[in-house]
């Protein structure tokens, strides 16, 4: 066929295929418009999962009468005006294609009243045909009603799921938006019943309640609060302790300047931060907000704006990784994470400056301790009033017994503590090995026969740019051409690893992310194996002094709440839990 200009209604329906995936997509576009308009209260009403009716009303700035027709025109918007505006988008919407796309596949009514005006005005659209603008009695703000979705495109309507499924997607969307904008009241009704009503959060306690309402009380009980700033970046929100992991990535919310995104760089940074504290096959839970200058992020790289591109991706990746990694380092009895976790009753204990002593051996366990074993024994024998006012009781208390050579029982201010001694000692030894690795100079192991591998031209360029950094890690690599690399030496600890595969993975990461943590990952696996074999085994009988030495080292060791494989190392049974077991007071 000859080249021709497509008619407007066909252009809008093609755009609708990108903008409108399901009813939840319409709700997303309309609620984001309400947020951009400065709304403080938004109500969403749904009928039949959104197929019959979607109504979004707000108390925002409103749309003037002479702009109602423009609002329904393709690529007409009040949010950007020039290329400079596009390079620093600060609003959720900016393309001006949502309303005309929605109107092309539904029966739409748009009514709005500007603040300070005597009355509002409304206009109706059916299948893309815009009607006359007429006066309408209404409060200040905007109301958009979408009826009979896909009534004129039955092929698209066939792809809609059940009413329950479609409404579930709408509910999930509203929950995410509720996390992004704590200051806005949100209400959701389905078939005349109000199912979700979230008040605006004016303080931290109210924010915690909203997060609990969206993510669940169990999430907040295990949540670690974050709020860090660096180089113009700010990361705030909550991450769940590793023990609150999920079988699916269904409780992961990440916002960039208030926009919910799914980004590979972000996912990689979070996964690396949780690398050695999650049980295999599990996923972390988090609700995080990243704020930065809009000019440092491109939000115009995906039709539905689900993905973004950072101007300095490496800086963002490092900031996310280090912030989350540091927060997780406090997941130990009485650590920083225990103090920031909601509803946590753990008693804080400050780590000693001489924390991990790599040399020396006490109690037969090879554990460094801050006090002498005799002091532990003295404390264990002395009568101790265990109550909340006694600040001398350590977080894990004092050992009282050992069960079947596997579990250590201890008494602390809250009640009973049960410790898996092998898992706990494994984490302690693992962290000691990592610390020793960082402090000692990395040694290289030269290969008897250098190995040559073929790489892409981009991988060769990435290697050339990072040769010095790889050399500090113990690698000796030479470029033998634009697409060939010679491996002459590898880190001594990784001499038995598959050198070719490791180098290939490192180069792939350097091309994709500008950095690589493959070496750290392989090294951690090796040190974890060494720690597992070098830690105290099950069926080993310990004295009370040795058990107390183990408890004290747990309190000083980062990430001591989990072993190297992500299993919990200890559990707390408070007095209320023990009373319930024996029906006391019931």
**Domain segments of the chain as ranges:** 8-198, 204-329, 355-586
* Residue 130 phi, psi dihedral angles, 5° rounding: -85, 130
Q: Would you state the structure tokens that stand for residue 96, as one six-digit string?
A: 């001006």
Give the 3-state secondary structure of residue 449: strand
Per-residue confidence (pLDDT) for residue 541, from 0 to 100:
85
290: Cβ contacts below 8 Å, ≥ 6 apart:
233, 234, 235, 254, 255, 256, 257, 266, 316, 320
Alpha-carbon span 271 to 520, nearest angstrom: 13
Collect the ranges in the chain with pLDDT lower than 50: 342-377, 379-389
Q: Would you state the structure tokens that stand for residue 433, as one six-digit string?
A: 């090995």
Is the separation of the CB atoms in 41 and 181 below 8 Å?
A: no
309 alpha carbon, distance to own chain's centre: 17
Output the CA–CA distances (angstroms, integers) from residue 440 to 390, 434, 517, in the order listed. 41, 10, 19
DSSP state letters, 373-420: HHHHHHHHHS----STT-TTS-TT-EEEEEETTTEEEEE-SSEEEEEE
Q: Which CATH class is domain 8-198?
A: alpha beta
Alpha-carbon span 17 to 101, nearest angstrom: 8
State the DSSP code for 358: -
Question: What is the maximum span of the chain, computed from C-alpha positions, in angstroms?
Answer: 96
Is the separation of the CB atoms in 514 and 313 below 8 Å?
A: yes
Alpha-carbon span 442 to 437, nearest angstrom: 7
Is the separation of the CB atoms in 195 and 51 below 8 Å?
A: no
Per-residue confidence (pLDDT) for residue 368, from 0 to 100:
40
Instruction: Tell whether pTM > 0.85.
Output: no
Alpha-carbon span 213 to 86, nearest angstrom: 35
The CATH number corresponding to 204-329 among 3.30.230.10, 3.40.50.620, 3.40.50.10470, 3.40.50.1580 equals 3.30.230.10
123: Cβ contacts below 8 Å, ≥ 6 apart:
68, 69, 72, 109, 110, 111, 130, 131, 132, 133, 134
Per-residue confidence (pLDDT) for residue 517, from 0 to 100:
59
Which among 140, 157, 139 is positioned nearest to 148, based on CA atoms?
157
Per-residue confidence (pLDDT) for residue 440, from 0 to 100:
62
314: Cβ contacts below 8 Å, ≥ 6 apart:
513, 514, 515
Q: Cβ-count burial of 161 within 10 angstroms (0-12 exposed, 13-18 middle, 19+ buried)?
A: middle
Is the separation of the CB atoms in 196 and 87 below 8 Å?
A: no
Give the 3-state secondary structure of residue 79: coil
Alpha-carbon span 18 to 31, nearest angstrom: 18
Per-residue confidence (pLDDT) for residue 433, from 0 to 100:
73
3-state percent breakdown (helix, strand, coil) of the chain, nearest 5? 35, 25, 40
Q: Would you state the structure tokens that stand for residue 337, as one six-digit string?
A: 């994470």
The crossing angle, in degrees rounded to 10, of helices 499-513 and 457-465 is 90
Q: Would you state the structure tokens that stand for residue 254, as one six-digit string?
A: 């990440």
Q: Mind listing the pLDDT tens digit for each residue in 409-443?
A: 999 999 999 999 988 988 888 888 777 666 665 67
DSSP state letters, 234-302: EEEEEEE-TTS-BSSS-SEEEEETTEE---HHHHHHHHHHTTTTSPTT-B--EEEEEE--GGGEE--SS
Q: Mind listing the pLDDT tens digit for each residue in 310-356?
A: 989 889 999 999 999 999 988 888 776 666 653 332 322 233 333 33
State the DSSP code for 583: T
Output the CA–CA distances (angstroms, integers) from residue 442 to 80, 439, 449, 451, 525, in the order listed. 53, 9, 21, 21, 17
Alpha-carbon span 335 to 554, nearest angstrom: 10
Is the separation of the CB atoms in 310 and 301 below 8 Å?
A: no
Alpha-carbon span 381 to 364, nearest angstrom: 20
Per-residue confidence (pLDDT) for residue 303, from 0 to 100:
63
- Is the domain covering 355-586 a CATH 3.30.1370.100 domain? yes
Is the separation of the CB atoms in 522 and 497 below 8 Å?
A: yes
Q: Would you state the structure tokens that stand for residue 14, as one six-digit string?
A: 């093609």
Per-residue confidence (pLDDT) for residue 464, from 0 to 100:
85
* Residue 367 phi, psi dihedral angles, 5° rounding: -105, 135
């Amino acid at each position: 066929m000859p080249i021709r200009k497509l008619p407007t209604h066909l252009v809008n329906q093609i755009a609708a295929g990108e903008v409108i995936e399901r009813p939840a997509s319409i709700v997303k576009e309309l609620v984001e418009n309400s947020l951009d308009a400065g709304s403080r209260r938004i109500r969403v009403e749904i009928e039949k999962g959104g197929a019959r009716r979607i109504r979004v009303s707000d108390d925002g700035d409103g749309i003037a009468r002479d702009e109602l027709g423009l609002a329904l025109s393709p690529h007409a918007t009040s949010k950007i005006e020039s290329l400079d505006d596009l390079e620093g988008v600060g609003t959720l919407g900016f393309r001006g294609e949502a309303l005309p796309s929605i109107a092309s596949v539904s029966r739409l009514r748009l009514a709005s009243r500007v603040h300070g005006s005597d009355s509002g005005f409304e206009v109706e659209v059916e299948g893309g045909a815009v009607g006359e603008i007429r006066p309408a009695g209404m409060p200040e703000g905007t109301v958009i009603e979408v009826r009979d979705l896909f009534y004129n495109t039955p092929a698209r309507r066939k792809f809609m799921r059940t009413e329950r499924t479609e409404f579930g997607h709408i509910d999930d969307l509203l929950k995410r938006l509720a996390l992004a904008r704590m200051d806005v009241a949100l209400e959701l009704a389905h078939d005349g019943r109000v199912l979700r009503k979230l008040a605006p959060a004016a303080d931290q306690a109210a924010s915690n309640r909203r997060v609990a309402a969206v993510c669940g009380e169990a999430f907040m009980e295990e949540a670690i609060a974050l709020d860090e700033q660096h180089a113009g970046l700010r990361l705030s929100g909550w991450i769940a302790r590793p023990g609150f992991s999920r079988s699916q990535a269904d409780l992961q919310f990440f916002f960039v300047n208030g926009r919910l995104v799914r980004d590979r760089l972000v996912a990689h940074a979070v996964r690396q931060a949780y690398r050695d504290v999650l049980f295999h096959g599990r996923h972390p839970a988090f609700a995080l907000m990243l704020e930065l200058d809009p000019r440092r992020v491109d939000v115009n790289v995906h039709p539905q704006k689900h993905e973004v591109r950072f101007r300095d991706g490496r800086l963002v990746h490092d900031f996310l990784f280090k912030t989350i990694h540091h927060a997780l380092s406090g997941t130990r009895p009485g650590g920083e994470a225990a103090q920031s976790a909601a509803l946590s009753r753990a008693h804080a204990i400050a780590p000693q400056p001489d924390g991990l002593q790599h040399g020396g051996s006490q109690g037969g366990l090879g554990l460094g301790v801050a006090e002498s074993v005799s002091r532990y024994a003295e404390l264990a024998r002395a009568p101790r009033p265990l109550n909340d006012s006694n600040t001398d009781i350590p977080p894990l208390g004092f050992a009282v017994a050992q069960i079947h050579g596997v579990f250590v029982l201890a008494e602390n201010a809250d009640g009973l503590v049960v410790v898996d001694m092998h898992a706990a000692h494994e984490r302690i030894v693992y962290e000691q090995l990592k610390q020793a690795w960082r402090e000692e100079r990395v040694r290289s192991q030269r290969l008897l026969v250098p190995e040559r591998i073929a790489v892409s031209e981009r991988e060769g360029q990435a290697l050339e740019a990072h040769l010095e950094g790889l050399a500090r890690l113990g690698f000796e690599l030479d470029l033998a051409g634009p697409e060939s690399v010679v491996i002459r030496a590898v880190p001594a600890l990784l001499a038995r690893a598959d050198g070719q595969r490791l180098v290939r993975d490192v180069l792939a990461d350097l091309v994709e992310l500008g950095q690589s943590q493959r070496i750290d990952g392989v090294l951690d696996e090796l040190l974890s194996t060494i720690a597992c074999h070098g830690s105290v085994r099950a069926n080993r009988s310990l004295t009370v002094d040795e058990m107390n030495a183990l408890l004290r080292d747990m309190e000083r060791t980062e990430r001591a709440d989990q072993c190297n494989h992500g299993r919990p190392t200890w559990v707390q049974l408070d007095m209320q839990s023990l009373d319930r077991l024996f029906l006391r007071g019931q």
